[in-house]
A and B are shown apart, each in its own frame.
Chain A
Amino acid sequence: MSFYELGGSDIGMSAPGYPGFGSSVGHGVGSAPQGGVAAPLQAGPGQTYPTTYPAAGYYSNPPQSYPTMSNPCAPASSKAPVMNSQYHPSYYHNSHPHTAHSNAVPGHANYGGALVQAPPLQPYSTAAPPTSAAVHANQHSQPFQQHPGYLGAYYGPYTASQGPSHYPVVSYPSAAGGGQYNMQPSSQASLQQVSRGNGTLPASTSTTAPSSYGALPAGPSVAVNGQVNTVSLPALQRYDQNRPASAHPYTGVQSDAGGPASDRPPSLPPSTSVHSSPSHRQGVDSSSSGSSASPVPNNYDSLEGGSYPVPPATDSSKAAPPFGFGYPNLQPAYQQSPASRNDSTPSYSGFNPPGYQQFSQPFPTMSQLSAALGGIGGVSELEVEGLRPVNLLQERNILPPGPVPPPEPNLSTDLRKVNCSSDTFRCTLTNIPQTQALLNKAKLPLGLLLHPFRDLTQLPVITSNTIVRCRTCRTYINPFVSFLDQKRWKCNLCYRVNDVPDEFMYNPVTRSYGEPHKRPEVQNSTVEFIASSDYMLRPPQPAVYLFVLDVSHNAVETGYLNIFCQSLLENLDKLPGDTRTRVGFVTFDSTIHFYNLQDGLSQPQMLVVSDIDDVFIPTPDSLMVNLKESKELVKDLLNTLPAMFTHTRETHSALGPALQAAYKLMSPTGGRVSVFQTQLPTLGAGLLQSREDPNQRSSTKGVQHLGPATDFYKKLALDCSGQQIAVDLFLLSSQYSDLASLACMSKYSAGSIYYYPAFHRIHNLPLLGKFQKDLQRYLTRKIGFEAVMRIRCTKGLSIHTFHGNFFVRSTDLLSLANVNPDSGFAVQMSIDESLADTSLACFQAALLYTSSKGKRRIRVHTLCLPVVSQLSDVFAGADIQAITCLLANMAIDRAISSSLSDARDALVNAVVDSLTAYRNGVSGLQPAGLTAPAALRLFPLYVLALLKQKALRTGTSTRLDDRVFAMCEFKSQPLRHIMRMVHPDLFRVDNFSEQGALHLNNCVVPQPQLLQLTAEKLTREGAFLMDCGSVLYLWVGKSCSELFIRDVLGCPNHTSIPQNMTQIPDLDNPYSERMRTFLNWLQESRPFWPVLYVVKDDASAKISFFQHLVEDRTESAFSYYEFLLHIQQQMSK
């Protein structure tokens, strides 16, 4: 296996610098918008800012130039200026080409957000008028003149944030939790920090400041994420605030060097300054040319902070001491009464040996640590249960009575309580094998199933100035880190010991100090941070939606346009966004039509571009319009659009050029393009030919043309992805439309794909209903823009392959132009190094996105799992549903790259191999039957079900587009949805019993038993409900009780049930009520309303119902029992 090849990517990526990224052609956001603040902040020089800045205020004289200012804090002062002059001007200059821009765009700064969050409590939100901010900027422009970038980057946001403070708090489902956690004190702090640093804020403001610890985080607010240590200086002052504010020194201007002195304990400020930038700089200077030489890492890697330009190991000892510095004295420091400022000045030269000592204490050994982590409990019952041998050939009813529960990892109860929800984050093996050899022995795939942007009802949102992250691997602090003492925490991924920043000592929930382990970040494995401008490459983009609509004859025939316009009209106000939201429309047949919706026009103006070989945008400004300003025009257009093309005779479709136009329209901002297509594109770039041979639909040999015919759509998607544009495809075609090629436009731009075969407004009512409901959900669901997701894992593990819709930017980073709550991802992992040193393996997925309200947010999920060394434990912890989903993804890759029969063979082999491994490695005996550990008892069933899916089946007539769509769904849907597709739930619903019923909100939800998917379980006397995720079938037997038919379906008898019944009538009787509560309960677990088909025993629709009965034999596939025999036969070979 080539797993090992990927070695050490986790470590490797933390190597210094990112040369060359900035030059990306299609990928970078373009040099201009990329000049974010983030990049410089992450690299060494950026850090100088926070410290030197206060330093400027406190120690040095204003006219001094920047390099000199940093001198006091840099012991190696000779070097620092060099660095500065060399680096900074160009650095910041280059990377902030649009500082003005960032100023101009309101509210993009987090500080702004933070401030606004609690206006009533904030003295500043009222007391700090825009003018004061302006003053800061002015004042500073003087001493800092040679760093124009700074001003824009740092002050800009503040200035901006105070003006447009009317931004509402982003209210997500989590709002309640968020409110609770939003740390108002810290947000004040950020402002205080500003004012302090600037030294211009009137004293009166400070007086109003609440004298709480909450304010302490001030320092790091500007500090680089992770540059934790910068904290102490401002923080200390904060502690001192209990004292009367009149004593506050900050009233002075910068030149008031003596000002803050009285407030501060001796020796501290210098130590702070020392540690932060210069230390780093030394490192850079002395050892690594890499990070200093690397060009501006203005890309998303650096944004999310994938890796941190770490000074090489040799250097770390040098750089390390300062990290320890602040803390040892910190404690005394704020207990101390303020000393005079003069004392402090010289003291930086002799920084505190105690700090050194403390730091240089030997780390606890690994074993000690593992013990400290205390992850593993004893052998749990679950474990034993998971290993119980099951003889598959004899066990008739292997399904559990209810939904299959995800296995619980064998962790101590504390850890289990805080572990990530299995709906969000699942691992195929809940016991991680120690080595790759052990994993290979188990023959089970190791991987993760992720649903990172899931709609959550409760999510702690943290507004904090410092997002605490490991300095080496950039892991976010999470419940599974260990606190060595009050001041230090140990990263659970790379085992680096980090400092706990002061701000973190304050707990906003309990409003108490000194309990870092009780912070929400450490109490919840799923948290959301409001990110600072460090996490932006450009001001957060507005929500931009472009709709590209097919209006050829074929499209008009299907009648989708009416429904779309209607649906959009209804949901226009619910489109996620804020006042900046922009929309646009493009229609196309053989030409491309744009719509000028500029505010002020009396009616929408249609502009036709017929030159499809060289598409241009007729009026660049007025095609994407502000939804709020042009709402009337948009409504007008939506009302008239369906009628405009009713008599069209144009049959051609120039999809490719239309997409190029969409790309040009959207590239300045990024956003979402929704494409509605009803036929094969026949004109211009990206035209496609029909590749399907209908005679081959049921061939057992192999299926051709699963891959794209042209790379036009892929290239377009990559370009789009680079400009933060996602393309969502709605394909409503009754004929072959080469979805395999078209899907590429969504696959690589992180879009979603919807397919409605044989869509027609009259002939296919159920599908019409589905389209409406999907649209409703699609238009109103949450959306995240310009997102990246990085998955980090414990040292020793590495990512092998990703599955889903995205573009893989680097070994652990996904670029997602848009992220939506309905998409899932799968990741294959490999074990590079032995995990013998540790007892816990952790995975962290961090999704950085811009919310529709223009806030930059980071959602972090952390999963923790035990590491085991025994093969039996690996089997005991297998999560069969996750394994099935991951295998499905792998099989689809195989089908596309190799052949379908290969993929099918690989699936069967996966079962055979793992069961053989179990037989040989664990059970020890050679039983006659086919035994599997209880954890894997559903494995053969699920694999058989996979083999009978549209995506992978052979022998049964399957249209190529259907097959390709099924493949796309497997790759992009979350686990739950895939499992319902693969193995639907079947219930008998005509005889609900009270037994085991759920009592929710005063209504009783019956919990009928899960039935096996075989016709054997169906009886003519019953009615059965099959839940396939997006479709529900209600099968009504021929001799089903009249009572049921009358009370639930509202029909007198079986024969009078209409053919196309898709709804259960609202009847007022207990029978119907119970049925409806049950359906509602099923519905609640998914984000959209599924389509319900009522299937009569004799109806033609029953074919689609019966094809889901996967345990039964079909003409071309095994029954479940036959499949077991086949496996047994393979195993004995």
Chain B
Amino acid sequence: MAFTFAAFCYMLALLLTAALIFFAIWHIIAFDELKTDYKNPIDQCNTLNPLVLPEYLIHVFFCVMFLCATEWLTLGLNMPLLAYHVWRYMSRPVMSGPGLYDPTTIMNADILAYCQKEGWCKLAFYLLSFFYYLYGMIYVLVSS
């Protein structure tokens, strides 16, 4: 039993995923508020947009860590989300600042529904990966 780099990666990923779970929950709440008319779309976009890149960067960061630790399976599991993030950010509306959400289109029912669904899916993904990292960490610690 030894504390390897891979184990460190898993631990880090575990912590960061916990943070990502909070991001996802925040995201879901925010869109729910929009839907129930509690919030002004402009305000809501202003609060959501700065959070988009940090979330993506955190995810990229531990993907890179797994790459360095040559944890191929874990990396492979994260690739779809990584690809999705890249695609999502490439196809964002014309904006001068960072972020994804445009207050003029966000109230469109389709987009609202999409964003909500996205939030739930991500939450599910992060939760599953949280437990996977936990397992991975223990496995690495025990096996090495």
A binds B: yes
Residues in B with CB closer than 8 Å to A19 are 38
Residue B85 at the A interface, CB < 8 A? Answer: no
Q: Is the pair B109, A718 in contact by a Cβ cutoff of 8 Å?
A: no
Q: Is the pair B108, A811 in contact by a Cβ cutoff of 8 Å?
A: no
CB-defined interface of B31-63 with A at 8 Å, one 1/0 digit per residue?
Answer: 000111111111100100000000000000000
Give min CB distance, A893 to chain B, whole Å: 8
Give min CB distance, B133 to chain A, whole Å: 31
Give min CB distance, A562 to chain B, whole Å: 36
Residue B107 at the A interface, CB < 8 A? Answer: yes
Residues in A with CB closer than 8 Å to B103 are 718, 807
Q: Is the pair B94, A24 in contact by a Cβ cutoff of 8 Å?
A: no
Q: Is the pair B42, A12 in contact by a Cβ cutoff of 8 Å?
A: no
CB-defined interface of A709-720 with B at 8 Å, one 1/0 digit per residue?
Answer: 111101100100
* Contacts known (A707-B94, A712-B96); A801 close to B37, Cβ less than 8 A: no
* Contacts known (A21-B40, A711-B94, A712-B96); A811 close to B107, Cβ less than 8 A: yes
Bound form: Cα–Cα A718–B36 in Å:
21
Give min CB distance, B39 to chain A, whole Å: 6
Q: Pick the interface stretch among B7-15, B20-28, B111-119, B135-143.
A: B111-119
Interface residues in B, total, Cβ within 8 A: 27
Q: How many A-B residue pairs have CB under 8 A?
A: 101
Which residues of chain A from 48 to 107 have a CB within 8 Å of any chain B CB? none
Residues in A with CB closer than 8 Å to B42 are 24-27, 718, 722
Which residues of chain A from 1 to 54 have a CB within 8 Å of any chain B CB? 2-3, 5-6, 9, 12-13, 15, 17-21, 23-28
Q: Is the pair B95, A801 in contact by a Cβ cutoff of 8 Å?
A: no
Kindly identify which residue among A21, A715, A811 contacts B35, using a CB–CB cutoff of 8 Å: A811
Q: Is the pair A21, B116 in contact by a Cβ cutoff of 8 Å?
A: no
Give min CB distance, B92 to chain A, whole Å: 11
Question: Most chain-A Cβ atoms within 10 A of its Cβ — which of B39, B42, B43, B116?
Answer: B42
Kindly identify which residue among A5, A301, A808 contacts B107, using a CB–CB cutoff of 8 Å: A808
Q: Is the pair A12, B94 in contact by a Cβ cutoff of 8 Å?
A: no
Give min CB distance, A798 to chain B, whole Å: 8
Residue A210 at the B interface, CB < 8 A? Answer: no
Residue A800 at the B interface, CB < 8 A? Answer: yes
Question: Most chain-A Cβ atoms within 10 A of its Cβ — which of B40, B94, B108, B117?
Answer: B40
Give min CB distance, B104 to chain A, whole Å: 5
Q: Is the pair B36, A6 in contact by a Cβ cutoff of 8 Å?
A: no
Q: Is the pair A830, B107 in contact by a Cβ cutoff of 8 Å?
A: no
Which residues of chain A from 287 to 339 have a CB within 8 Å of any chain B CB? 299, 301, 306-307
Residue A1037 at the B interface, CB < 8 A? Answer: no
Which residues of chain A from 824 to 843 have a CB within 8 Å of any chain B CB? 828, 830
Q: Is the pair A810, B107 in contact by a Cβ cutoff of 8 Å?
A: yes
* Contacts known (A810-B107, A811-B107, A830-B109); A13 close to B94, Cβ less than 8 A: no
Residues in B with CB closer than 8 Å to A801 are 108-110
B40's nearest neighbour on chain A, judged by CB, is A24
Residue A202 at the B interface, CB < 8 A? Answer: no
Residues in A with CB closer than 8 Å to B104 are 714, 718, 747-748, 807-808
A306's nearest neighbour on chain B, judged by CB, is B37
Q: Is the pair A809, B109 in contact by a Cβ cutoff of 8 Å?
A: no
A722's nearest neighbour on chain B, judged by CB, is B42
Question: Most chain-A Cβ atoms within 10 A of its Cβ — which of B35, B37, B113?
Answer: B37
Residue A799 at the B interface, CB < 8 A? Answer: yes
Give min CB distance, B117 to chain A, whole Å: 8
A12's nearest neighbour on chain B, judged by CB, is B36
A2's nearest neighbour on chain B, judged by CB, is B113
Bound form: Cα–Cα A710–B37 in Å:
28
Bound form: Cα–Cα A748–B42 in Å:
12
Give min CB distance, A275 to chain B, whole Å: 28
Residues in A with CB closer than 8 Å to B38 are 15, 17-21
Give min CB distance, A1011 to chain B, whole Å: 40
A301's nearest neighbour on chain B, judged by CB, is B37
Q: Is the pair A6, B109 in contact by a Cβ cutoff of 8 Å?
A: yes
Give min CB distance, A636 to chain B, whole Å: 41
Residue A148 at the B interface, CB < 8 A? Answer: no
Residues in B with CB closer than 8 Å to A828 are 109
Q: Is the pair A25, B109 in contact by a Cβ cutoff of 8 Å?
A: no
Give min CB distance, A708 to chain B, whole Å: 5
Q: Is the pair B94, A5 in contact by a Cβ cutoff of 8 Å?
A: no
Bound form: Cα–Cα A27–B42 in Å:
7
Name 17 extra pairs, CB < 8 A, besides A2-B113, A24-B43: A6-B112, A13-B37, A18-B38, A21-B39, A25-B46, A27-B40, A306-B37, A707-B93, A708-B94, A710-B94, A711-B95, A711-B96, A714-B104, A715-B96, A799-B109, A801-B109, A828-B109
Residue pairs across A and B with Cβ atoms less than 8 A apart, 10 shown, are: A2-B109, A13-B36, A21-B40, A26-B42, A306-B37, A714-B102, A718-B104, A801-B108, A808-B104, A810-B37
Chain B interface residues (CB < 8 Å from chain A): 34-43, 46, 93-96, 102-104, 107-110, 112-114, 116-117
Chain A interface residues (CB < 8 Å from chain B): 2-3, 5-6, 9, 12-13, 15, 17-21, 23-28, 299, 301, 306-307, 707-712, 714-715, 718, 722, 747-748, 798-802, 807-811, 813, 828, 830
Interchain residue pairs A-B with the least CB separation, the first 8: A5-B113, A808-B107, A810-B37, A2-B113, A800-B109, A13-B37, A6-B109, A12-B36
